[in-house]
Amino acid sequence: CLLSIEGVMSSSPRKDPFAKPAYDGDRLMFASEIAKEAQVSGQCIYKWWRQGTLPYAQVGGRRASWRSDFLTMTQPRRNSAV
């Protein structure tokens, strides 16, 4: 994967992946959309899903992730140690 996920916040899995979106405008994204936005291959997205790095839900036989989970995963981790 070209996008390094080392040092980024791992998204916590949703208890119910079909629950109401986390914010207005949140939507499900399929692998091709996530790959395009992250500028990585589709194989990288499937790897994130297999590893549990990016939560997903099965939607009509396809996997999809909430946009908010993708954005959370790609945000730099804040250092809470002061």
pLDDT at 8: 41
> For 6-29, what is each residue's pLDDT tens digit?
444 344 445 565 565 556 778 999
Q: Return all residues near 10 (Cβ < 8 A) that are at least 6 apart.
A: 53, 73
Contact 28, 38 (CB under 8 A): no
Task: Give the predicted TM-score (pTM) of the model.
Answer: 0.68
pLDDT band at 67 (very low <50, low <70, confident <90, very high): very high
pLDDT at 31: 96
Burial label for 45, CB within 10 Å (0-12, 13-18, 19+), is buried
> For 29-66, what is each residue's pLDDT tens digit?
999 999 999 999 999 999 999 999 999 999 889 999 99
